[in-house]
Structure 1
């Protein structure tokens, strides 16, 4: 038992009520033997209170009762504040806002009276007795929820406390009302404001009691608000110790009731509320932090559903992009235009020629930002970056024109006369090359959403797309690439530093297209990208027709990696056409014998299938070993299909190739298939060849030599399989090999030609490959054919070959 409780037991007030305890069989020794809740662990308290709890009846409207309780206690506490300040007012300006409960709500008067009996039974105001009283109240409220137990106890207290303070107010404002005076005497309210003891001693104590009541009410308000917001974080609300919080609310209410009893008596007895005050404020601090988190969740939820709604409204596409790229409280919606890097250099040169600028250390915050630095350099930018120095571009926002108007203009913002040249150079980098996001309004945009650890090979593909498909053909008014780097809580510390050095990091990548001005990190945007556009860790390329407000492809990244520039502009129509064209090889087997039904099954399941053939019988065993090696190492299944197994299959296959050479050869829209067919045709009489399919789609065609070399250098490209898929990684490395071997004339020694005679010629002259019988449907030869390996125009030659064979196998 605390020293304060012992001093209380020696007081006059305790002696007066001690006789009633003894009459009830309670002795001083018994009180000392009671449990002090401040000495118990949370688990011990939880065990005690759960013994008094049964299944909750959720039908009770605790919300409506709490509205009534809050109305009473808020006004009562306001009256106490006015009494302490000796400033009793009844004006409307001083009345707290009153809320109304649901219509038809009935106050459970009998329950409140039972609780009131426990609260007002003049028990010893010690922590041990308060604990016992709390358990007794919980026993009476066994079938109520934990929140309802706390609200009902608070309501029983509010009923008495509000009545008491109401009489205090009436007694102060209506001195001639005998009924009020008589009731005040019975309630003890007349002792509070009038006695000298109150003015000198009890004023501080009453203030402390009032603050504790306010804090307890605030705890209950927070609990109820958390329950309403629990839909935005159901797992977190379940983790809150609601039962323990209700216990401490009830025991604190009991302590407050005891304090009121002491204050309205004629005896000044000690009763320390500080342990309860500390506990309640600790709980309030935890709940407030949780509430702030739930409010943020609510805002994020609203933000997310707003994004969802805007994404489905075609005429709101610009608002959608603003909300996706920037936080909800952003006021500036700019993109960084990487295509104008030369302008930044020009402005910095202009700056270096300004002789009248004093170069010195600038007094500035350690972490400068746009809002604090822009006004300070406004005048300088107006002087060194005139609109005439910058190109006229739709949506382009030169710094000088930005600063010459609005709150950042020189007339509105005083600029320091002392600048740091280094700082100004940095600001030119940061702000000289921005455009309004509306520059995308009439374009088809490729939104490349990625994490900062994006592969350099993917960035190189984007560079080629921009340079060779957009810039080269002056289609900037129709197409745009927008970089959208994101960062979330899964990133390492090293990656998170990019968030604060974003523009420097961006410059290091030498990006020539548009980029968002900040890393996208707000949770609503990240949730949308994950749930709607299936972004996880690998980059996603979304084709958004901004002019029409339509998403034309939710992820073109695989197509970009697989087909590169040839699939531009990567919308669904182009993608379907490409994959349709690349199904040419599988169509040969449509009417094959029934035993080849396994191929159809592989195709339906999107399996990897390698078709192969060749003049050398050993190639079959060799490619089987190499396929098994890759399959085992990558833990993927690769099926193989040998064209040479059956004569009818072989004849039908090459007959199909000849037919394709006649039909697809002269149609520009079939460029991808044409190149593959030409390449495969050139391998007809070689020692070995292969064709890799993913399902029905032919990904790459190559020779025995290139396949063997790719497998031999397997360790050099297998690391990218996880991020870029097997077919993309293999195709990319294989095509590099083809170009490399061709440039060094290695192909001349690995039989990449169409006949043995051509092989000899090839060794002599270093040719890439030879294609036979390229006749059109009218029986004519095409004027020119490009090589399927190196893309150079092929030379036309005519070769005559005797097909006569004698009985002794002599060849002419």
Structure 2
């Protein structure tokens, strides 16, 4: 049933919710008895295999060479030779010698069983038995290596047949298709094949990444890793089974001339496996994010305890504490001597009393003058001799040309030492992750982003625990909406709740307001309190924090050189900000933390008003997928989107794409003066 206001629910930690979702996925998609057979094949003998160099060679073969050729470069020319050579150098000869035989055995197994039309499950189990003494991550990498060998040999002979006599003769004996002549006919099959190969590589990289987690912070018996241990065999089985499907597809091309009738069916089978692999990768990635969060928390606790221990311990030498606080490498030296304007190492502070001045760039000249006088007075008295170090901590907004000049000006006024910049992005990090961002370094920020995916939890984390509790209920749908058009809000909320009640859809609606409109938002809060449109945040601070975190995410991504094409989080953040820049409302519907449908106000309202048109799809496919499909039908080329970014925030993105059509938006400078 739909509800128009939040109910008090027992809090379920996000990690437990994600684990439950993953258990459901793996248990319902894989037969328990079959998984027992898979586990029974696993008898590792402790041998270590360095799989990263092998993976690099595999990616060069399957992705950088073959996949690019499938996209249209049928001449087979490649500029990847240097990286291939580097990969071969990285892979130690002894290691390759020891693996070559087993890779050849798997290659033969794939060729023999797939040419004979063998059962995919039986072939998969045969390979697992062959690799019983290897770890799970080595099993999948070795099997993919065998596929790369088969696919690579096929590709070399097939594409060189037109220009090389030997290759042409071998191609004739094998009856391989002419890639140039049959490019159009084979494209659908190769596209599906490459899509599955990429999905396989994504899963394998996840599996390998688990083995590379620092064991000093996370062990196999800790809850995050113990959950992973149950998932990895399932992922390994379906990875190898998908590789078998790829090998069968390649084998089917032997002797092929004009037999393209089954191409669509085979492509559909590969696409189905690619979808399954993508689902497995998503669940493993979620678990990986939990592991990274666990590691970060352990490191945070360790760093804090180390600092506490350092401060509680008497030291003859103060450098141990200073190095822990400043966290600076000695190349280049981290300090600048204010009197000589030269760089110096921390050694100049050894066995001295040190005062740390930690601030942003908003130090007034009066403050500096007073500090200067006190500092000079102290240096003239032997009994109060100490050194002073200024450590500027800035957010990204302040670090532009003006900020750099201000920093240099302030440093020139100071006769004492100044430290190297601790973080140019500390404030944005603090808004996004709070204390988890400590010690606010670029490396820490990169680590945190690595463990994040676009989700409802990322949007509302630290703002409203009620929404996090709703996410724990699998049947519950959550709608975040914004804007300040009261007529649209009333119609939209009434329509949405009506659709939910009539169709037994559990729906919670959350009003998140509008950016940079504090006084207007206070009036909206008062109106919501009287009209009871939906659940809302009862204070302006929560609304401000929601939009500030979104802007912080955007500028953090910009600082790391991300683009909308390469980074989903940045793309989605820009979409929400462009929704807010329009004159109408907008809505994002979520189920769980990741399933999402979004639209601007009029389109969202029209979609819900015409629910009867897509009701059957919603029953069959689910509410969110059906809504997404219907929103595509409602899309029109006529629209006008704006993205308004505060000028004080620092970097401006070089490219912004339209939330409606994906085209690059025209760039203008917009100045706003909003009188409340």
TM range, normalised to the smaller chain? 0.3 to 0.5
Structure with larger RCO (C-alpha < 8 A, sep 6+): 2
What TM-score, normalized by structure 2, do the two folds share?
0.39
